[in-house]
Amino acid sequence: MGAYFKFKERRIEKALERDSIRGFSAPPAPEPEYDATDRRRAIPAKGLREYWYPLIHEDQVGYKKPVYWRICGEELALFRDDQGKVAAVSDVCPHRGASLSQGDCFYKGTVSCPYHGATFDKHGDCKAFIPEGPDSKMVGNLPIKAYPTQTHRGWVWVWMGDAEPAPIEEDIPPEFLDLKTTSLFHSTTYWNMNWIIAIENQNDSHNGFYVHRNALMQLMSPRMRARTPVGPRSKLIADRALTPMMQNQRYYLDDKGNMPYQLYHEGVGGMWPLHTWRKLVWKLFSPWYRWGVYNKWRLDPKRYPLPSPEEWAGVPGASAWHLPSAIRVNAGVYLFTRYAVPVEENLSRIIYFQHRPMPRTIFGHIAQWIWFHGYFNYWLNYNFSGQDGVVAAPTRYWTKENLAPTDSHMSLLRKLVTERSRDAKRRVAALKAAAAAAIAGGDTLPPKSAAIGSDSVDADLEAAAQEKAEMAPLGVIVHKRPKMV
Ligand code: FES
Ligand SMILES: [Fe+2]
């Protein structure tokens, strides 16, 4: 089962690489019709930059040949450095633009361009320019952009920012820095959509009961948040994460405190769900859940993985969004983290991490492996989560939205991204500096504007800066399915 999906993932990765060899140019993006108070305008189409992202599993990078990879709209060449760790540099050779990933790793810790043999180390320094011989003036004078990387538990994390890398523990799930408490499973797939669409999908308007009604997970046992016309309030944590506080979940409960399975919708004169046959399926599976999945032994809190910090969904049952683009569910017996890593404007690499309690014996490891690869990965990631991938892909992101009360959590996510993220803070700082320079130059300030992200900066200053410094375009999200052959 997993082999088919692995094959599919590799096909997309190969197609991305083929595109780059064939040569391609993106069509110009049409100007969207947005109004200036809409936070979506300030969401960077190719992802936030000042963060650590999961890049690739180190096993996918060998020692002889570099690997072509794309993230945040940038093309990277990955290779092994002098310590055997995965290093990342731009794929575009600074000599005349050839593709480094089509080259070779002739010398330990370096990658050589296939065109004229410019050879770079992990810092992006040119160590040799082979056709010109050892005295070439290019040596030491042909820097290429290098991306800081760190490897934790086999996963390579990359810093995509322009500023000095932030401490990695601010950005990555804590289990990656603790080798003893949990085991780690992962799988990767691709969704044909922008990264923000992919992460807005989580904690969405209770779509669990609707979109996923025929997912195995839903058919096997009743679960998901209660339906309610009022969204939960959310809590902002350390300008890095949001967690829903799960109020308003009891709106439709009956006198006995139970959620009715069907609710009558007067406008259409009918019940939802339309039928009750799924309840029979639940009954069929109830012994499996009672004795297999939810037995006392498995649910003993002593067997739970690490207590998680609040920003990573602290207590069992909690969920969180975490910058730059992760969602996290604390299921008690396991911790689930799903990243939507921007690849291009219309393609996201969906990486699932699952941390489970570290087994004490080799048999425990084998049992977990079989559980994840034979059942769980399909059950949660491909079957259940894949349904979100299908319904969210055609989202016309620039549609004039009419948000529902249950979208409140998503609105706050947009605020987090556009006003509290490191990228937003940097942008505001740059605007302030430009405005101060404009004022120092004796310019007259234009009238106040409703600029996004201006809550922490004087609006006049920001407006002046926009006039003077022409705010760099933040990217436009265009709905278009990439050609994948
Ligand atoms: S283009 Fe890379 S060495 Fe010439
Ligand atoms: Fe969903």
Going from N- to C-terminal start, the domains of the chain cover: 52-160, 174-250+264-415
Please give the backbone phi and psi of residue 418, each rounded to the nearest 5 degrees, phi first: -90, -15
Q: Which residues contact 345 (CB under 8 A, 6 or more apart)?
A: 29, 45, 46, 73, 194, 475, 476, 477, 478, 480
Cα–Cα distance measured from residue 34 to residue 418, given in angstroms and rounded to the nearest whole number: 15
Cβ atoms within 10 Å, residue 426: 15
Q: Which of 115-119, 296-300, 457-461 has the least mean pLDDT?
A: 457-461
Q: What is the pLDDT of residues 134-158, one digit of tens each?
A: 999 999 999 999 999 999 999 999 9
Amino acid at 323: L
Mean pLDDT of the chain: 84
Bridge partners, residue 338, by sequence: 327, 352
The alpha carbon of 210 and the centre of ligand 2 are apart by a number of angstroms equal to 8
Indicate whether residue 138 lines ligand 1 (CB < 6 A).
no
The confidence score (pLDDT) of residue 245 equals 79
Amino acid at 60: Q
Three-state DSSP class for residue 214: coil
**pTM (two decimals):** 0.85
Q: Which atom of ligand 1 is nearest to the CA of 100?
A: 2
Give the mean pLDDT of 72-91.
Answer: 97
Q: What is the pLDDT of residues 39-81, one digit of tens each?
A: 887 888 899 999 999 999 999 999 999 999 999 999 999 999 9
Q: Which candidate, 158, 174, 151, places its Cα nearest to that of 240?
A: 174
Cα–Cα distance measured from residue 193 to residue 170, given in angstroms and rounded to the nearest whole number: 27
Give the mean pLDDT of 379-384.
Answer: 91
Q: What is the pLDDT of residues 244-284, one digit of tens each?
A: 877 677 788 888 888 888 889 999 999 988 998 988 888 88
Classified by CATH at the fold level, domain 52-160 comes out as Rieske Iron-sulfur Protein (2.102.10)
Please give the backbone phi and psi of residue 61, each rounded to the nearest 5 degrees, phi first: -115, 120
Q: Using CB atoms within 10 Å of the CB of residue 425, give its burial: 0 to 12 exposed, 13 to 18 middle, 19+ buried.
A: middle
Q: Which candidate, 96, 88, 101, places its Cα nearest to that of 129?
A: 96
The confidence score (pLDDT) of residue 32 equals 52
Q: Which residues contact 450 (CB under 8 A, 6 or more apart)?
A: 36, 37, 459
Number of H helices, E strands in the chain: 9, 19
Model confidence at 470, in pLDDT bands (50, 70, 90)? very low
Cα–Cα distance measured from residue 220 to residue 206, given in angstroms and rounded to the nearest whole number: 18
The confidence score (pLDDT) of residue 182 equals 92
The confidence score (pLDDT) of residue 300 equals 77
Q: Is the distance from CB of 148 to CB of 160 less than 8 angstroms?
A: no
Cα–Cα distance measured from residue 323 to residue 138, given in angstroms and rounded to the nearest whole number: 40
Nearest residue (by CA) to ligand 1, atom 3, is 116
Indicate whether residue 114 lines ligand 1 (CB < 6 A).
no
Cα–Cα distance measured from residue 463 to residue 41, given in angstroms and rounded to the nearest whole number: 16
Q: What is the DSSP letter of 316?
A: T
pLDDT at 465 over 60: no
Secondary structure element (H or E) that encloses residue 80, with its range: strand 74-80
The alpha carbon of 17 and the centre of ligand 1 are apart by a number of angstroms equal to 18
Pocket test for ligand 1, best of 96, 101, 119, 142 (most atoms within 8 A of CB): 96
For the domain 174-250+264-415, what is the CATH superfamily, name and number?
A: Naphthalene 1,2-dioxygenase Alpha Subunit; Chain A, domain 1 (3.90.380.10)
